[in-house]
Structure 1
């Protein structure tokens, strides 16, 4: 055979290794061998899914929207009454700087507490009792015990009650829902009034309890004060403590006053002693002239002046006379007498200073001794006295404070003021608050669209079939050679291009094939009045096959599928017809020895054929029969043999393909499904290329991948996939835009220029 060499396989089956076909690597991902290429999601792909599943989206949307609409219309109107209350801070006083910064936190806590009290069971039971809500059908369910009725009424009341604080204020909105607008308004107003009344009751009870506690504490404190005063007076009497009234009206202890006086005398004695001591030190140093008091002595002043006069006179006489001169001697004698008197007076003054210093020292010692004795006596009695006096003062202060608080509590108990007031009382609403038709319809619209889109993508995710050329390239990594539309999607009639005969089921067609009469009602592109789109799809397949390899088109092709009923025989027949329209030299072999169908497509008898040749009865040229079309010959299958696989794996089958290739331009073999029997895998080793036919939107990709793996395991090459019986209305009509009736013509009127050019380019 041209362009390849036989390889020894298992048993006696030879495998043909094509030499001119380009092989694409198959990358298996995951443990299951799923072949998948990563591709970024595109908005167009999402839009195509929605267009394809638009009826699912619309159905889910219509159901949910209708349910929401019916539920809204059947719902009983609910009226909502609203009252506005102001909650002020309780017991507002003058605040410190720290309290000013902590005001928001404390205030928020207080407000949250009031909101909880608003929704308390106690307050709700008071309103239920006053309005007799347990007798109203809206709140009182039937056929229940009394205890369960109370709980049910309470639960329904609290469910209809709403508390909504107004931001950045001390205002709060209280709402209540009811079927009766008048009842809704009464419930809110009664609730607000009971809340204010309960607040007053709580404050009054708290004040009463505080007054009772203060009275008890005051009585005890009064007894403690009297006891401490008695102990103080007894101590004063026992220790002989006397007190004098001061000018300011206070009382002063005599012992303390005596101690203070001695302290002053001691301080004075010390200062006098310091003064006398300094004078005594001057006297001891011989500086008597510097002693105070001498300069003021009249006698000493006169003697000093007389001494100065005599010394001047002596100086005058000495300048004229000698010391022995009587006058000089007289003056000298007077000077000596005066100096003796001055010396004696100074010595007398120094002695007097020393005596005064000694007296000052003795007086200081006496005063100090008296001060120490008085201090010791005062210390023993004053410490205990001070303790008792402080205790009396503390008890008196506590007593006066409790007495003041008790009076304030009495005044507060008499005041009936509340820090809560009703700003706006509730009025009976004129319009119902529920149901809100626009909101519910908008919600139904969103839910319907959301669930519809979700259902569409869920179905798309669960749909594991191959539906487009992108799916083929993504999961199988081989090109999609052609997309064959179904007849039903083209004109609304017929079963599509995958059946055996128009309007016949596969089982009926198999029965007709066994009976033998030909049934030419096939989806053949050369049939009169055939749809131009269907014909043009096979022309596209023909062009893809001719251009599938680089050097030349494959001359031997095997057409198969993963499972029965996918249209492999129809593809084989129409591909052969399309190739024959380019010129003679096309041979179609029916290799499906188990369920042959090619003979009925051309109205031939299923006699002789491949089986007769393989069993050695005839030459292969003797079993070739004309198809009735110019350029196309057919070898039918023949009678069903007991061992199809053994016949197909024989050397005569290989010889048939080799010799037919020499005489025909192209040999096409129609084979059984890959996953059912081994016949197709045997034939795949003898051809240059294999075409895998899958049903668009019907073949699971796992089956297609398994079929491809079977071909790969025997060393054959898949040149591409034909997506057959494709519903052009699926995927939102994505492919329908490429198959327009006004563009394609009938097979007779159409030209074959593109395919003819491709055929010339690959002739060799």
Structure 2
């Protein structure tokens, strides 16, 4: 649901921009329609230039030829994508070769040997520029997804075009064959130099590995991974022997401590003889008991003989009886042996029993200490030998690693040497054969008709160029024309509604009631515009009893619009009061011919009650329900008078006594009086001449009013021409001749008004030295006015 709302919000946010774009496009099309003369003129001029070019341009002919590029290398039959991509990647290189200097020079040399008409394109150029001319007219392009390259050349003569293409193709073929052979020979030489270098490095490595083998005293065992080097074996054996000696030493030390403890505690020491027998040896044990080795050997022989006699006795008893002489003799021998053994054991026991602890203890200690001393000396010698053997083994390992690295480098160099030999052999075998084959698919052929200029192309370019230039010209003129072009644009940019569009008025008089269009011709179309303005204000939804009317610049016709609107209100039966608040250039006072009467300036300067001062200064206009409060004597400080509190009292008195109050204000850009008066009314109506007023000035004036808090009721577009030829979108010139300055004159002729407008646009606002004119502001001039 949230995503749907987000999409909806995005779509809604895009609607204004889309609408603006469509509106801008429609407006531009309207501009093009009204300024179509520029577009038509541009198309006509472009067509004339195109026709001139087509009739005077030199016809250009083109000859083409096609070449097939085939790869005959070892990967020609390879279906892999890499091989195909490699072959396709070379096609652009073959294209560029056609425009190389060497190929073009070869073609030029061939053309020099032919007839002169084949060199028509070079006739007026020096020799050193021929290659550039040939390159500029020559084109080589591969046909997509093929190995075919199309060569084309443009020339003023079809025969010359064919000759040039043929010469370029022949030069290209010769260049491909020559360059391939040269490259093959160069590759062989480079590879042979590398081979010799590798062979030298191989000899060096072989000498290094022999030297390492001699230092290692290699017995040929390094290649066998299952055989351990003798030096390593010696370390292992020494380590095992050292461990065994250390174990024996520890046992002897433990036995020595036990014997000393037994002697100290007075225990029987004979039990320790059996425990230390494996450590000190059987002979040392027997010597402690007073026995020797011969006794031991005799006892062992008797035991063996006894076992043999026992076996023989068992065998004889199976065949003879117990009384047989042999059986009796053998039994006697067995009995004698047994008796000897029993006597020998009793002798040993007697000797052991005869040994006292006083004699056995020192004897055992001496034997054990002697044996322990021998073991310690043996352990030290073994430890020294082990350290030496270990150092030799470590050095051996480093040298073995060095030898393996040298062997690895030697194997790599041998492989590289074999690869170079194979590569050289292959190039030597096939160096005369090209890996690329170039075949001419189509012979050079020139077109029957010129390829340039082409009538359809020239016509299309003229049409497109003319339209483009015409539209660009219309756009530039439209940008430079700083005027409002339509009521919609006026309303969109100013942000205010267009209340009415007043046509250019033509009244028979310049002052008095005869100068007011609604009074002179109330049924005319021009008068209807003011009644429409009155109706629009009545149905605007606001209570607009006090309305101030102004303009952005002088001579926009604000006084005329206000006078006609006031008469329109009077005709509707409303009691209407017109106040001339333009204390600088009182055009309304001049229009109603009330210059000699008192007016608003006296009321604002006085201090009497408002009602007492207003009633005698409000004069009838001569039209029912319409009264006028003239300006009165021109003050020296109009802005200060209007800023005082009495103006609000005057407007309040007018609102209490009249149904409709209309105030004539100075132009916005001329003074700040309009803003002062506008803040005291329900709103401000701005009169604009679209044909005369500059857009930036109008926007600045409206923005100034908005910044000062003055409410804008709407816009009245004045002096709209009936015909649309004078200005597009129905706006035409007007020419009221409204001059404005800071003096007590009341208007000027149209020519002087234009001068004043120029002075106003340039920033000059002090017009106090101008003389009065008899032409009232806002009154229409004769038809010859601007």
- Map of 1:87 onto structure 2: 69
Where does residue 578 of structure 2 map in the other structure? 588
Post-superposition offset of 1:119: 1.6
> 563, 566, 569: which is aligned to 2:556?
566
Higher relative contact order (CA 8 A, sep 6+): 1
Q: 2:534 corresponds to which residue?
A: 542
Q: Distance in 2 between matches of 1:401 and 1:541?
A: 101
Listed as ranges, the matches of 1:419-498 within 5 Å are: 419-450=437-468, 452-453=470-471, 456=474, 466-471=484-489, 473-486=491-504
User: Structure 1: which 5+ residue stretches go unaligned?
Assistant: 1-36, 219-394, 488-493, 495-500, 504-516, 737-764
Contact 1:613 1:623 in 2 (8 A): no
Q: For residues 699-718 of structure 1, what are the structure 2 equivalents within 5 Å? A: 699-700=693-694, 703-708=697-702, 710-712=704-706, 716-718=710-712
The answer on 1:524 being equivalent to 2:517 is yes
Within 5 Å, which residues of 2 pair with 1:665-704? Answer: 665-696=659-690, 698-700=692-694, 703-704=697-698
**C-alpha contact 2:65 2:150 (8 A) present in aligned 1:** yes
Deviation at 1:540, TM superposition (A): 1.9
Conserved? CA contact 1:134–1:140, under 8 Å: no
The one of 137, 140, 157 equivalent to 1:163 is 140
In 1, the alpha carbon distance for the partners of 2:463 and 2:582 equals: 55
Matches within 5 A, 1:138-149: 138-139=121-122
Provide Cα deviations, 1:157-191, integer angstroms capped at 9, x if missing partner. 11111112222322221101122222112111221
Is 1:51 the counterpart of 2:13? The answer is no
CA distance in 2, matches of 1:449, 1:186: 42
- CA deviations on 1:268-320 (whole Å, 9 max, x unpaired) are xxxxxxxxxxxxxxxxxxxxxxxxxxxxxxxxxxxxxxxxxxxxxxxxxxxxx
Secondary structure in structure 1 of the residue aligned to 2:715: strand
Partner of 2:168: 191
Candidates 118, 121, 131, aligned match of 2:98 = 118
Q: For the structure 1 residues 141 and 585, does the alpha-carbon distance in structure 2 shift closer, same or farther, using more than 3 Å as the test?
A: farther
Distance apart, 1:529 and its partner CA? 9.4
Aligned to 1:129: 109
CA distance in 1 between partners of 2:726 and 2:17 (Å): 21
Q: 2:59 aligns with which of 77, 92, 103?
A: 77
Contact 1:555–1:667 (8 Å) recurs in 2: yes
Q: In the superposition, relative to structure 1, how do residues 403 and 688 fare at CA in structure 2: closer, same or farther (>3 Å)?
A: closer
Question: What is the CA distance between 1:44 and its match in structure 2?
Answer: 4.3
Going from structure 1 to structure 2, the CA distance change for 1:199 and 1:601 (only over 3 Å counts) comes to same
Alignment deviations for residues 518-556 of structure 1 (CA, whole Å, 9 cap, x no partner): 487857244449851x33322221112112344xx4222
- Counterparts in 2 of 1:114 and 1:69: CA distance versus 1, 3 Å: farther
CA distance in 2, matches of 1:215, 1:609: 122
Structure whose residues are more often helix by fraction: 2
Decide whether the 8 Å contact of 1:476 with 1:705 is kept in 2: yes
Aligned partners of 2:599 and 2:631 also within 8 Å: yes
Contact 1:83/1:188 (<8 A) preserved: yes
Secondary structure of the corresponding residue to residue 41 of structure 1: helix
- Give, in angstroms, the shift of residue 155 of structure 1: 2.0
What's the Cα RMSD here?
Answer: 4.8
Within 5 Å, which residues of 2 pair with 1:491-506? none
Corresponding position: 1:175 with 2:168:
no
Cα shift readout 1:2-44 (whole Å, capped 9, x = no counterpart): xxxxxxxxxxxxxxxxxxxxxxxxxxxxxxxxxxx98841524
* Structure 2 counterpart of 1:63, from 36, 42, 45: 42
* 2: CA distance, partners of 1:573 / 1:53: 38
Change (3 A) 1:711 1:582: same
Distance 1:449 1:623 in 2: 65
Q: CA deviation at 1:83?
A: 1.4
- Deviation (angstroms), 1:419: 2.9
Q: Is this contact kept in 1: 2:47–2:459, CA < 8 A?
A: yes
Corresponding position: 1:577 with 2:571: no
Aligned-residue offset at 1:209: 7.5
Offset at 1:80?
Answer: 1.5
SS in 1 for 2:586: coil
Contact 2:582 2:664 in 1 (8 A): yes
> 1:441–1:405: structure 2 CA closer, same or farther, 3 Å change rule?
closer
TM-superposed deviation, 1:735: 7.3
Give the secondary-structure state (helix, strand or coil) at the position aligned to 2:599. Answer: helix
SS of the aligned residue for 2:517 comes to coil
Task: Answer with 399-408 or 648-657: which moved more.
Answer: 399-408
C-alpha change, 1:583 and 1:397, in structure 2 (3 Å) is closer
Q: Name the structure 2 match of 1:12.
A: none
Is the partner of 1:442 in helix, strand or coil?
helix
Whole-angstrom distance in 2 between the partners of 1:696 and 1:605 = 31
Q: CA deviation at 1:578?
A: 1.7
The structure-2 alpha-carbon separation of the partners of 1:160 and 1:559, relative to structure 1 and needing over 3 Å to count, comes to same
Q: Judge conservation of contact 1:200–1:417 (CA < 8 Å) in 2.
A: no
The answer to whether the 8 A contact 2:684-2:710 is kept is: yes
* Mapping of residues 140-289 of structure 1, within 5 Å: 150=128, 152-203=129-180
Distance in 2 separating the partners of 1:605 and 1:397: 119
1:594–1:640: 8 Å Cα contact kept in structure 2? yes
Tell me which moved more, 468-477 or 47-56: 468-477
Q: Superposition pairs for residues 320-359 of structure 1, below 5 Å?
A: none
Q: Deviations over 1:333-390 (max 9, x none)?
A: xxxxxxxxxxxxxxxxxxxxxxxxxxxxxxxxxxxxxxxxxxxxxxxxxxxxxxxxxx
Q: Distance in 2 between matches of 1:668 and 1:402?
A: 110
Query: Does 2:20 align with 1:41?
Result: yes
Answer whether contact 1:50 1:732 (CA < 8 A) is retained. Answer: no
Q: Does 1:662 align with 2:639?
A: no
When residues 77 and 605 of structure 1 are mapped into structure 2, their CA distance, relative to the original with a 3 A threshold, is farther
CA distance in 2, matches of 1:397, 1:735: 91
Cα distance, 1:709 vs structure 2: 5.1
Matches within 5 A, 1:353-368: none
> What per-residue deviation string (whole Å, max 9, x for no partner) do you get for residues 553-599 of structure 1?
42222111222222211221121122122125222222222222224
CA–CA distance in 1 between the matches of 2:719 and 2:44?
36
Query: Taking structure 1 as reference, are residues 420 and 180 closer, same or farther at Cα in structure 2, changes over 3 Å only?
Result: same
| Number of matched pairs | 487
Q: What SS does the aligned partner of 1:77 have?
A: coil
Q: Does 1:555 align with 2:545?
A: yes
CA distance in 1, matches of 2:98, 2:677: 88
The 10-residue stretch of structure 1 (72-81 or 157-166) with the greater mean CA deviation from structure 2: 72-81
Partner-residue secondary structure (3-state), 2:90? helix
Secondary structure of the structure 1 residue equivalent to 2:145: coil
SS for the counterpart of 1:83 is: strand
CA contact 2:486–2:729 (8 Å) conserved in 1: no
Offset of residue 397 of structure 1: 14
Contact 1:573/1:598 (8 A) holds in 2: yes
**Cα offset for 1:734?**
6.3
In structure 1, distance between residues paired with 2:651 and 2:111 = 101
Residue 105 of structure 2 aligns to a residue whose secondary structure is: helix
Query: Structure 1 64/651 Cα, relative in aligned 2: closer, same or farther at 3 Å?
Result: same
Q: Mean Cα displacement is larger for which, 465-474 or 681-690?
A: 465-474
Shift of 1:430: 2.3
Gaps of 5+ in 2: 1-15, 196-416, 732-786
User: Paired residue for 1:642?
Assistant: 636
For residues 467-502 of structure 1, the C-alpha deviation after alignment (integer angstroms, 9 at most, x for no partner) is: 555445544444332233456xxxxxx8xxxxxx89
Alpha-carbon contact 1:57-1:455 (below 8 Å) kept: no
